[in-house]
Each structure stands twice: as C-alpha cells, then as structure tokens.
Amino acid sequence: MSGEPSAAADFYDAAYRSAGERGARWRELGALGKADHVERLLDARVDRLVEIGCGDGALLAELERRGAAGSLHGFDVSEEAVRAARARGLESVEVFDGRRVPVANDAFDAAVLSHVLEHVPDPVALLREAARTAPTVVIEVPLERSLSARRSSRRALSEGAGHVRAFDHAEAQRIVATAGLRLGRELMDPLPAAVHVFFAETPGARLTGRVKSAVRRGVFAVSPALAARLFTVHYACACTRS
C-alpha cells in the first residue's frame, strides 16, 4: 500500500498476478499462524469481523473455517486480490481506496490489520480508521528492526514485498498510543519450521531451514526480547478505543 492509492493498487495487482499458485499456498501457510494469533487475542467468537487489507482472503478463509466470527468481511486496495478472495467463496470482500473503509461507525465488533501497517505511509491514520469501524482492533506486524533484517538481501525482500517502514516492539506500541488506542493483549511468534523451509528447493536447504527454525525458537524461549533484536519475529496485539 505504498504511495498514492492508485499506485499501491497497481503494485499489488501486479504482485498477485505474478505470485501464482505457490504464492497462494505461501499465504495460506501464513494464515494458519495469523488465525491462531487473532483467536488468542480476541479470546472469544465475535459477531462481526472485518479484515482491512485482506489480500486474497487467506486469513479470512481460515477464520471462517474455524468459525471465529458470525460474519466475515474484507477490504483491499487490489482488485486482483479481491477477485482471488471471492474465488475462495468469500463474497463479502470489496475494493477500497486504502484510506477510508466505506462503512458506518462501529459497523463491526472487531477489525483486523494483519501485516498491513508496514505497507502504508501513514499507519496511524489507518489504525484510527480501523478503530472507527470497530471497538476492538487486532494488528500484526513483522518486527524488522533486527540484526538479521539489516542485511541488504533481507531489506531487498522487504522492499520487494511493498514494505515502506520497519517496526520494533517499541515502535508498534507507539503507533497504537499515537492512534489514541489502549493496548491490551500482546504476543510474539518466532514462526514455525514450515515457514523457514517453504521455499527450500533441496534436502540440504530444508535441513538448514529446520536448524534455523530450531535455533530461533530456542533463543525465543530463553528471551523473546533478545530474539526480536537478533532476527525477525511477528508481533500481534489487541487494542481498544480509550
């Protein structure tokens, strides 16, 4: 969602067209952990849930499969993504301009922004807009202000994915506070081995991925704060209007 809305839409339309079946499977794998986080942070089934920046609907589809909400809705800037979401059977998914969600105040019980705020030039404004639509907002971002993420290869991957800002724990909390929201439950996740081996093409690469995953989860078990300084972990929180 970088830059002007039309440029962002073009960027993500092209990304979804080029990602193919493997890209869809990658997003479905990621949706498993993201759905775990949403369920843990909400701690109860809600009547009406909206995902702002829902992409191809992988997370919404997983939440629907789990019965996490009575009704599920989604908005995204990319027409290609919305078409893919509807192909999953998600009918209540629409294109929006990336700034204002075309619904009334408190149209939903919970809003989800999962791996969206790192893509937008003004995350505070979008977070406030999410809070306008629902009293509870769940956000998730990668914490990329880490030693590992400083490598040029990792920066290139993030930029290629459309990331326009990098978060650490303190910055994520600052965004929530600046948006005028009260921080509730939080969690961090070093990610499972399946994520680290997904793109591995050889047995050796898969072994390396599993070892990397084991080392990272070991460090995380000892000190989540140290883990976040060394390598990228995912951070999620629930916040409410103060």
Residues 133-154 have pLDDT tens digits of 999 999 999 999 999 998 898 8
- Give counts: helices (H), strands (E), the chain: 9, 7
Of the pLDDT bands very low, low, confident and very high (cuts 50, 70, 90), residue 43 is confident
Q: In this predicted structure, what is the pLDDT of residue 73?
A: 98
| Tens-digit pLDDT profile for residues 66-121 | 999 999 999 999 999 999 999 999 999 999 999 999 999 999 999 999 999 999 99
Instruction: Using only the alpha carbons of the chain, give its radius of gyration.
Output: 17
Write down the mean pLDDT value for the chain.
94
Q: What integer pLDDT is reported at residue 1 of this predicted model?
A: 45
> Would you state the pLDDT for residue 8?
86
In this model, does residue 163 exceed pLDDT 80?
yes
pLDDT digits (tens, 9 = 90+) for 176-199: 999 999 999 999 999 999 999 999
CATH of 5-143+163-190+234-241, one of 3.40.50.720, 3.90.1150.10, 3.40.50.150, 3.40.1260.10: 3.40.50.150
3-state SS assignment for residue 144: coil
Give, as one character, the DSSP assignment of residue 146. Answer: S
The candidate with the shortest Cα–Cα distance to 235, out of 149, 116, 142, 167, is 142
What integer is the mean pLDDT of 225-240?
97
pLDDT at residue 221 in the model: 97
**Least confident segment among 45-49, 61-65, 156-160, 171-175:** 156-160
pLDDT number for residue 154: 87
Any idea where the domains of the chain sit in the sequence? 5-143+163-190+234-241
Q: Is 111 helix (H, G, I), strand (E, B) or coil?
A: strand
